Amino acid sequence: MNSLPTILLERLTLRPFSLEDAPAVQALAGDQYVAATTLYIPHPYEDGIAEEWIRTHTANFHEGRVLELAIVHTEEQYLVGAISIALNKNFDHGELGYWIGQKYKGQGYCTEAARGIVTYAFEEMDLNRIFGRHLANNPASGKVMQKLGMQYEGRLRQHVKKWGKYEDLLHYGLLKNEYYSEKN
């Protein structure tokens, strides 16, 4: 795989970010609601952060660290959010991560995008396992993982600190053979 992929789905396209996406990233990820439901998105989301983040994607992919893609509405071409698979090639597994702009919540976009990148990870990247984790105060993220067929694997109590408060992390996982048995 020489270049970041583009993945066409039913309503969405998962594609590489460009610097032209930076204002939309800042507007969507800069929403306090999005920052509150994710582990690493800062708030406030300062000018220049989006551009800096986008500039890392090609190297991250080529160095085998992470595949990061924009979630874009195919027909109308607006940015919905971001999705990623952080890679550990030593163990052939990847961590699923995503965020969706608040105004696009509840429309099935996250589930559609997650299905698309998980399929790509198993079929094209030859991963054996996909796992994900979410803050306990964000059950919608867990519902997405459940819709993918991911199994609940446990709760790490007060495992992280978000905005000065300890938070639990809930973990889910999906094995390649489980993915293929569900598809058939």
- Is this model's pTM higher than 0.75 or not? yes
> Could you give the number of structural domains in the chain?
1
pLDDT single digits (tens) 134-161: 999 999 999 999 999 999 999 999 999 9
Q: Count CB neighbours of 21 within 10 A.
A: 19
Q: For the domain that residue 34 is a member of, what is the CATH number? A: 3.40.630.30
3-class secondary structure, 117: helix
The answer to whether residue 2 is domain-embedded is: no
Question: Is residue 21 assigned to a domain?
Answer: yes
Residues 6-44 pLDDT 10s: 999 999 999 999 999 999 999 999 999 999 999 889 888
1 within domain boundaries: no
Please indicate, yes or no, if residue 98 is contained in any of the structural domains. yes
pLDDT for 182 equals 76
Question: Residue 112's domain spans which residues?
Answer: 7-183
Please state, for a pLDDT cut of 70, what percent of the chain lies above it.
98
